[in-house]
Structure 1
Amino acid sequence: MRQVSQPLSLSDSFVEADIRVYITARVRVEPRFQSWLQELRSEVQDALPAGAKGMFRWAAYQLDILRRLHHQSKIREALKTLPKDLDETYERIFSYITIEERDLIRHALHLVCFHDFLWKGEAPLPAQIILEYYCAFQTDMDTVTSDDILCDLATIKDVCGCLITFSWNDGHNGQAVTAVIAHYTVREFLESSRTSGELTDWVKINNTAR
C-alpha cells in the first residue's frame, strides 16, 4: 500500500511566518526594544524567524537574550552566532546573567522546580514565596541586612525573564501571582550533565540532593 502520510517539517514557511509575526509584535511593543534603531530591530525580525526552524520557544528565548544586551555591536554579534538548539540557548542565557543576579535566579529556579516536584505540577507556587525565601537567605549572610535588599516581584520577573512564567491565579485569599517553570526543557537543562562549565554550573540542580 502506498504511504500517504508525509513528514511534517517544523521549519514550514507558514510556521516561520507565524514566528515572524510574533517577533515583530514583541519588538514593537516591549519598552526594552523601543530605544533600538529601526535598522537593528529589522535585523532581529529577519534573523530570528529564519534561525528558529519552526521553534517558537527558541525564538522567544533569543529575544530574552537580546534584551539583556546594551550595545549594538554585541546584539549584532549575537545575531551572527545564534545558538543551534535549546541547550546552547540555555547556556547563552545563563552566561549573560550577572554575578549579582545569580543568587536570585538560582533560588527562584530551584524553588520552583522543587515545588513542582513535590506537587507534581498540580499547584503553582505563589511568587511571593520566592521573594520571601530569597530575602530570608540574603539576610542570613553576615554582610546583608533587610534594608540592603532592593527586590520585589517585578525585579524577580525581570531577572528570570523567559525561564519562569508568572501569572495571576485565584486562591483562597483572592488572586495571587504564581510561578511555574516556563518549559519542561528548562528543568531538563538544570538537571542534565550534557553541558558543564563555570558559566552554567552555578545554576545546575544536584539530583542526588533530593
Structure 2
Amino acid sequence: FRWVDCLLRILQTCIAPDDVRAALKKLPKDLDSVYTRILESIDEMQRVYIQRAMHWLTFSVEPLTLSQLAEAVRIEYDVDKYGEDSKPLFNMSSLMSICPSLISFEDARNGQSASQEDRRLRLAHFSVKEYLISERAAQGPGAYCHISEDKANFLMGHACLSRILWHNAPATVQEGKVEETSFLYHSSRYWFRYIGSIEDTAPTQLSNAALKVLELGKGWLDVYDPDCPYRDPLVLPGSRVYPPALYYSSLLNLVTTCKLLVSRTEDAVNVNAQGGEYGNALQAAAIRGNESVARVLLEHGAEVNAQGGACGNALQAAAYGGNESVV
C-alpha cells in the first residue's frame, strides 16, 4: 500500500493524459526506487537542507515543529564555529512540496489546532527511516541523504549548542519567557542527550562547546533546568542560584566534560561544592547511576560521606536510585 500511495503521488503531478501514460511506463518498481527517485529529483542547492532535515526527522528525541526545523537546518555545521548567527533559508513550507512522500505532519496534540509552523513533522512511513539508514541508500544518486545515528547526534548536538551560545551572545541575548515550541527550548532541553551519546568520539571543539554551555549557568538553565524540570513557574528566571557546571556534568553523565573540569590547573573546580537538588556532584552521579562520572569524581577527591541534598549522602542516593554498581 505504501508503494501504491507513492506511485499515485507521482501520477498526480501529471497534467495531460499523455503525461500519465508516459509516467506509467517509468514508474519505480519498488519502494527503494521510489525514494531514490525522490531524492535524485531534489535541486542540488536544496540538498544540504534536506539532508539536515532528514537527520532531525529520523533521530531527534522529540519531533520538531516546522518552525523549529527551519531554524535547525540553517545552522552551519562547522566545529570551529559555535554561536554565530545562522544563514537565511528558503521557505521551509516548501519542504512538504519538495519531498511529500517522505515527510508528513503529525496530528495536532491534545486535540488542539495549530498553525502549520507549530505542527510537528515526522517521516511519512517507517520504511523511509529504514531506507535512509540502510547501505542501499549509500549507493547511487540519493547517497547524499544516507544517514547514521552517530552522525545525526553530532549534527543535532552541534546545532543545539550553537543555538544556545548564539542566544547568550552579548549582542543577541533576549529576556522573557522562551516558548516551548521554539528551537532554543528544544536545544536547552535535549542538547546533552545528543552530546552524551557521542562523547567518546566527539571532536575537541564539540566538547569545549558543551563545557561553555554548562558554564553559562542561567544562560540555558533559565530555559530548561534538568535538575528541576518541574520547578514552580512563579519562580522568576534568574532568581535561582544554580549549582556549578561540575554538578550538571555529573547529573547528565557527561564524562568528557566532567574530566575537563576536574583536570583544570587554573580556575580549579571544587568537586565537593554544595548545591543542586542532590546536594553535590557525587550525589547527582550516584542517584542517576552514572558510574564513570562517580569514579572520576572520587579519583579527584570527592567526599563520599558529604551530607546534604535530597538523599542525605552519596550512598543513600545510589540506594534510592537502585544503582548497585555505583555503591
How far off is 1:96 after superposition? 1.5
Distance 1:181 1:64 in 2: 16
Q: Distance in 2 between matches of 1:197 and 1:69?
A: 28
Equivalent pair of 1:65/1:93 in contact (CA under 8 Å): no
The aligned counterpart of 1:9 is none
The residue type paired with residue 191 of structure 1 is: I
* Whole-Å separation in 1 of the counterparts to 2:150 and 2:41: 27
1:69 is displaced (CA, Å) by 7.1
Matched, 1:87 2:32: yes
Q: Give the alignment's Cα RMSD to 1 decimal.
A: 3.5
Q: Which runs of 5+ in 1 are unaligned?
A: 1-54
More strand by percentage: 1
Aligned equivalent of 2:96, options 118, 135, 157: 157
1:134 to 62, 73, 77: 73
Structure 1 residue 208: Cα displacement: 5.0
The one-letter code sitting in structure 2 at the alignment partner of 1:124 is P
State the shift of 1:186 in Å. Answer: 0.1
In the alignment, which residue of structure 2 is the partner of 1:62? 7
Deviation at 1:135, TM superposition (A): 2.6
- For the 8 Å contact 2:137–2:145, the answer to whether it is kept is no
Which residue number in structure 2 is paired with residue 182 of structure 1? 124
CA separation of 1:208/1:114 partners in 2, compared to 1, >3 Å: closer, same or farther? closer
Change (3 A) 1:101 1:156: same
Q: Which amino acid in the other structure matches residue 4 of structure 2?
A: A
Higher helix share: 1
| Matching residue within 143, 166, 181 for 2:105 | 166
Question: 1:78 Cα deviation (Å)?
Answer: 3.3
- Percent identity at matched positions? 28
2: CA distance, partners of 1:151 / 1:82: 29
> 1:133 and 1:89, CA in 2 relative to 1: closer, same or farther beyond 3 A?
same
Task: Classify 1:150/1:70 alpha carbon distance in 2 versus 1 (closer, same or farther; 3 Å).
Answer: farther
* Structure 1 residues 92 and 160: CA distance shift in structure 2, 3 A: closer
Q: Is the 8 A contact 1:95 1:199 kept in 2?
A: yes
Pair member with larger Rg: 2
1:176-200 CA-to-partner distances (Å, cap 9, x unmatched) read 3110111000000001113443411
TM-score (structure 2 length as normaliser): 0.37
CA–CA distance in 1 between the matches of 2:147 and 2:99? 16
